[in-house]
Amino acid sequence: MSVEDFWQENKRFVVSVGGGLLVFLIGSMIVDRLYGSEVARVRTQLRRNESSLSAERYRSADLERAREANEALAAAVETLSSAVSFETRPDFLLNPRAGGASSQYFARADLVRQELASLASKTRMRLPADLGLESLKTTREEVIVRHLEALDLIDRAVRMALDAGVERIDKIQVRLDPAFDSRAGLGAVERTRVTFQMSSTAEPVVRFLAATQSGRFGSPLVIEESNVTGARSKLDEVRAEVTFLVVRLARQDADADIEEI
């Protein structure tokens, strides 16, 4: 077949292909003129990034320094955790061989009430009869554990108030962390709040606050908030409201190590 015959039979196809190629070439020229410098800049940056990623960035000495820093941070976290975490005394821990959790709680609460009431009668300090301990209507062990921890704190604080000469403890209130029953769950730090309202002359209240930080029963009690104001009825009397925290910290994975680079 001659070229002329091919042209006659396929000229429409050839013209379409040629027109498309011409449009492509013109478009490429326009794009190159408008964006050629930007494309070149991006390509240059891409080559630099590839070169940077392929280069050795960390050495064994860097890994060792990272490990040492990690160990130092872990030690600091452990120290801070020990300072703020509430260490429950053995008598206020559940004993798996001593019956149900509810029975253990009520037995311990009754004993604490009796002991503190006896001590208060000797110094004539007024105490709320229930010590702020609500009548638990649950058998959930995790709830009972937290109320036992609060009871431990109440026992310590009342004994220190007695020794300091505080005249009256008007009210004690225990509040579990609001996130305890939330869908989101507890965070890294759980706080059970135990609030004391007391009335006395100023000096015993000052002695009481100082005693709570003395570590008499181990570590100092963590105070979230304290507010002392003058009483309206008596010029020499103050009213104090102190909120203590029973702090629980979420367990951290102490075995996690830095991966080899």
Highest mean pLDDT among 54-63, 191-200, 234-243: 191-200
pLDDT tens column, 220-259? 999 999 999 987 777 789 999 999 999 998 765 544 444 4
CATH class of 82-249: alpha beta
Highest mean pLDDT among 4-18, 29-43, 68-82, 235-249: 235-249
Average the pLDDT over each of 8-12, 172-176, 229-233 and give the range with the smallest value: 8-12
| AA letter at 209 | L
SS3 annotation, the chain: CCHHHHHHHHHHHHHHHHHHHHHHHHHHHHHHHHHHHHHHHHHHHHHHHHHHHHCCCCCHHHHHHHHHHHHHHHHHHHHHHHHHCCCCCHHHCCCCCCCCHHHHHHHHHHHHHHHHHHHHHHHCCECCCCCCCCCCCCCCHHHHHHHHHHHHHHHHHHHHHHHHCCCEEEEEEEECCHHHHCCCCCCCEEEEEEEEEEEEEHHHHHHHHHHHCCCCCCCCCEEEEEEEEECCCCCCEEEEEEEEEEEEECCCCCCCCCCCC
Residues of the chain above pLDDT 90, percent: 46
Cα 197 to Cα 172: distance, rounded to the nearest angstrom: 6
pLDDT tens column, 129-145? 889 887 777 788 999 99
Q: How far is CA 56 from CA 59, 60, 61, 261, in A?
A: 8, 11, 13, 10
Structural contact between residues 209 and 159, judged by C-beta atoms closer than 8 angstroms: no
Residue with tokens 């910290």: 249
Residue with tokens 């009871």: 151
Q: Please report the pLDDT score of residue 20 as a whole number.
A: 66
Cα 221 to Cα 242: distance, rounded to the nearest angstrom: 11
Average the pLDDT over each of 9-18, 42-51, 218-227 and give the range with the smallest value: 9-18
Highest mean pLDDT among 5-14, 47-56, 175-184: 175-184
Stronger pLDDT, 32 or 225, i.e. the higher one: 225
Mean pLDDT of 139-167: 94
Mean pLDDT of 55-81: 67
| AA letter at 120 | A
Highest mean pLDDT among 98-102, 187-191, 224-228, 232-236: 224-228
- State CA 230 to chain mean position distance: 35
Q: Please report the pLDDT score of residue 259 as a whole number.
A: 47
Domain boundaries, the chain: 1-55, 82-249
Per-residue confidence band for 194, with pLDDT thresholds at 50, 70 and 90: very high
Average the pLDDT over each of 14-23, 36-45, 60-69, 129-138 and give the range with the smallest value: 14-23
Structural contact between residues 197 and 171, judged by C-beta atoms closer than 8 angstroms: yes
